[in-house]
A and B are shown apart, each in its own frame.
Chain A
Amino acid sequence: MTLSRFLLRRLVFSVPVVIGVLFFTFALVRIGGQDPVALLAGPTATVQEIELVRRELGLDQPFFVQFAIYAQKVLSFDLGKSWLSNKPVLGELLDRLPVTFELMFWGILLGALVGIPVGLHAAFRVDRAFDQISRFVSLLGFSIPTYWLGLVMLFVFFFLLEWAPPGMGRISLIVTPPPRITGSYLIDGLLTANWEAAHSALSQLVLPVICVAIVASAPIIKQTRAMAIEVLGRDYVRLARAAGLPERAVRGIVWRNALVPVATFIGTEITGLVGTASLIEYVFAWGGMGQYGLHAITSGDFAVVQGYVLFLALFSVLVFVIVDVLGFLLEPRAGGGS
């Protein structure tokens, strides 16, 4: 099977998932209990006025008719308007998507670049000092509340040591942001040779990225270690030793074989980390999609919540497709082969 065929199949199989997601987010908000009409019409509205608004919004229609209208709108890229800002939800989310993506990308990359080697190293010396320490550290990473970690890091590195800038957004207030190309201030600053902006964006990135990395790396360490230990016990590793391959080559075989399941694991982890990242965004006033979504939830901004959940779900579907393609490329048994 070629890659393009595999990709096509995989995308076709994603369609029912997307439809399910669409229905679920729609239903979730509907059964939320709050009546949006009453909220929108305001406290002084009469019963007739409320009914009028309800009819205008189409909320007097049966549930499935409402869903059909919603689905049709979504398919024409209309996610409705935010009741707070009165702007189209899609635009608001798209503006913030690269902002969140930037934070997640660097955080998970750093978490994987630290977590995978640490996990492998621990697996090669089970129960020795390094392994014990890494197990303890990863346990800490599991149990520390994210927002608390962010606050403590700000307290230590901004307030006490003054090494980092305050957690007030993505670029210093006195620096003019670069023109928008990708939406990432760091990359846009570099592209436009605006070194001042790039530097400011980079220093703003450091603490939140480390926060995401710490949260991301704990399970990566644990998973990599477990996978590598399992692979170490496989027959082909024993035969590699029996064939007198040098230890370095044996470890090469181990880590390549542990990589595929670890990559899959990181994919599933990413989707969970989106929620974690929204808390980190809040602490550092990052202004990304997560913070926007959280705010919408607490203020009952239905259209935004719906759009946000839909975005997260589509993002998860996309991540799983990417993970499967990676697995296809790395794993000869899936038909690809490196």
Chain B
Amino acid sequence: MTLLTVENLHTHFVSRSLDNEIRVARALNGVGFSLERGRILGLVGETGAGKSLTALSIMGLLKPPARIVEGRIDFEGRDLAAMPPDELNRLRGDRLALIVQNPRASLDPLARIGEQLARVHRAHRKADVATAHRRAVEMLAAVGLPDPERRARSWPHELSGGMAQRVLIAMALINEPQLVIADEPTTGLDVTVQAQILDLIQGMVRARGLGAIVITHDLGVVAHYCDDIAVMYAGSIVEQGATRDVLADPRHPYTINLVDSTPERLKIGSGRVFGGAPPNLFALPEGCHYRLRCPRATGACAAPPPWVAGVGGRLTRCHHLEPR
């Protein structure tokens, strides 16, 4: 069952330059995907591709000068993009939740862990302090923190990065959301802890039948934990499909490049990596945004590329592909 459908999402940064010209950075250019319940979608791409911005747009956490100028975000039958801020604020932390990076910096240093969890619970549920606290301890136990009663009384500075990330996961899940977005949830954690955290997120999503979006740079993470993958470049999705299919046989030149540039592939020496700077969002090339870096670019690429269907519902946005 479809939980979230994003259609043609455009998010722009509109600002004025010093000589009072209006400048538009087109950060998201028609992002579209859908997410089924119980599935994990990996959102990958280079820095500045718009992964986090997609998450913020869905959550309604954009700050001026960024704003959604076009598009629909259909979540449980309602359009988040057109929802009044107050109403959306009631959904945040309740029906949809965010897990962020920098877990230790993301906890209020002046409140005990249990109090912070209870705070989020009570913001969305009519619960008295004692009930909310019990619920907080329950959640701390559910994310695998030993001695949750004692942990609930800890201060954030007493936690390790991995523990703090578990606390954030507990906080995200305390109101049983339907959609969880994890924005680089393991950046800055030890490798062994990374795996534990991702196992935890995956386990929670499977057990509760949630939909999840995991934003990452790490194709390894996507390969292990995500059912589907969407590859972003310059604010658009260029290729999406089942993780297994896309990583085994990338079709879009950018995806091919991305997969070839993973350390494992570089070691084997397969493929060639085409570098190049991320595109200027103030002046994106017409047509295919990747054409200035693309080894296969031709004159045809100046027109907007079509979606080309592949095996197993795979979609790739390129002029040079035949449908399979």
| Chain A interface (Cβ < 8 Å from any Cβ of B) | 234-236, 238-247, 249, 253, 256-257, 330-333, 337-338
CB of A292, distance to nearest CB on chain B (Å): 42
Which of B98, B107, B109 is in CB contact (< 8 Å) with A242?
B98
Q: Are B89 and A238 in contact (CB under 8 A)?
A: no
- Neighbouring B residues of A240 by C-beta, 8 Å: 108
- Neighbouring A residues of B97 by C-beta, 8 Å: 242-243
Of the listed stretches B14-22, B116-124, B201-209, B304-312, chain A binds B116-124
Of A234, A236, A332, most buried by chain B (CB within 10 Å of CB) is: A236
- Neighbouring B residues of A246 by C-beta, 8 Å: 89, 123
- What per-residue 1/0 map shows which CB atoms of B94-113 lie under 8 Å from chain A? 10011010100111111100
- What per-residue 1/0 map shows which CB atoms of B294-323 lie under 8 Å from chain A? 000000000000000000000000000000
Q: Are B90 and A239 in contact (CB under 8 A)?
A: no
Q: Are A242 and B59 in contact (CB under 8 A)?
A: yes
Q: Are B92 and A243 in contact (CB under 8 A)?
A: yes
- Neighbouring A residues of B61 by C-beta, 8 Å: 238, 241-242
Give the secondary structure class of A's interface: helix
- Neighbouring A residues of B106 by C-beta, 8 Å: 235-236, 238-239
- Is B33 in the interface zone, CB < 8 Å from A? no
Q: Are B123 and A243 in contact (CB under 8 A)?
A: yes
Given contacts A243-B93, A243-B97, 20 further A-B contacts (CB under 8 A): A235-B100, A235-B105, A236-B106, A236-B107, A236-B108, A236-B109, A240-B108, A241-B89, A242-B97, A243-B92, A244-B124, A245-B119, A245-B120, A245-B123, A247-B89, A249-B123, A253-B108, A256-B110, A257-B109, A332-B157
Q: Are A331 and B110 in contact (CB under 8 A)?
A: yes
> How many B residues touch the partner, as a band?
20 to 34
Q: Nearest residue in A to B89 (C-beta to C-beta)? A: A244
Task: Give the docked Cα–Cα distance between A331 and B109 (Å).
Answer: 8
CB of A332, distance to nearest CB on chain B (Å): 4
Task: Give the docked Cα–Cα distance between A337 and B155 (Å).
Answer: 9
Q: Are A333 and B109 in contact (CB under 8 A)?
A: yes
Task: List 4 A-B pairs, minimum CB-CB distance, nearest first.
Answer: A244-B93, A244-B92, A243-B93, A235-B105
Task: Give the docked Cα–Cα distance between A253 and B155 (Å).
Answer: 15
Of A243, A246, A249, A331, most buried by chain B (CB within 10 Å of CB) is: A243
25 inter-chain pairs at a CB distance below 8 angstroms, sorted by A residue, are: A235-B100, A235-B105, A236-B109, A238-B106, A239-B98, A239-B168, A242-B61, A242-B92, A242-B93, A242-B98, A243-B92, A244-B89, A244-B92, A244-B120, A245-B119, A245-B120, A245-B123, A249-B123, A253-B108, A253-B111, A256-B110, A257-B109, A257-B110, A332-B109, A332-B110
- Neighbouring A residues of B94 by C-beta, 8 Å: 244
Task: Give the docked Cα–Cα distance between A73 and B108 (Å).
Answer: 51
- Is B171 in the interface zone, CB < 8 Å from A? yes
- Neighbouring A residues of B123 by C-beta, 8 Å: 243-246, 249
Q: Nearest residue in B to A247 (C-beta to C-beta)? A: B89
Q: Nearest residue in B to A338 (C-beta to C-beta)? A: B110
Q: Are A244 and B157 in contact (CB under 8 A)?
A: no
- Is B3 in the interface zone, CB < 8 Å from A? no
Task: Give the docked Cα–Cα distance between A253 and B111 (Å).
Answer: 9
Q: Are A243 and B120 in contact (CB under 8 A)?
A: yes
- Neighbouring A residues of B105 by C-beta, 8 Å: 234-236
CB of A256, distance to nearest CB on chain B (Å): 5
- Is B247 in the interface zone, CB < 8 Å from A? no
Task: Give the docked Cα–Cα distance between A249 and B168 (Å).
Answer: 18
- Neighbouring B residues of A249 by C-beta, 8 Å: 119, 123
Q: Nearest residue in A to B88 (C-beta to C-beta)? A: A244
Task: Give the docked Cα–Cα distance between A244 and B61 (Å).
Answer: 10
- Neighbouring B residues of A245 by C-beta, 8 Å: 93, 119-120, 123
CB of B45, distance to nearest CB on chain A (Å): 21
- Is B91 in the interface zone, CB < 8 Å from A? yes
Task: Give the docked Cα–Cα distance between A297 and B316 (Å).
Answer: 85
CB of A15, distance to nearest CB on chain B (Å): 30
CB of B126, distance to nearest CB on chain A (Å): 14
- Neighbouring A residues of B90 by C-beta, 8 Å: 244
Task: Give the docked Cα–Cα distance between A245 and B97 (Å).
Answer: 12
CB of A329, distance to nearest CB on chain B (Å): 12
- What per-residue 1/0 map shows which CB atoms of B10-46 lie under 8 Å from chain A? 0000000000000000000000000000000000000
- Neighbouring B residues of A337 by C-beta, 8 Å: 155
Q: Nearest residue in A to B117 (C-beta to C-beta)? A: A243
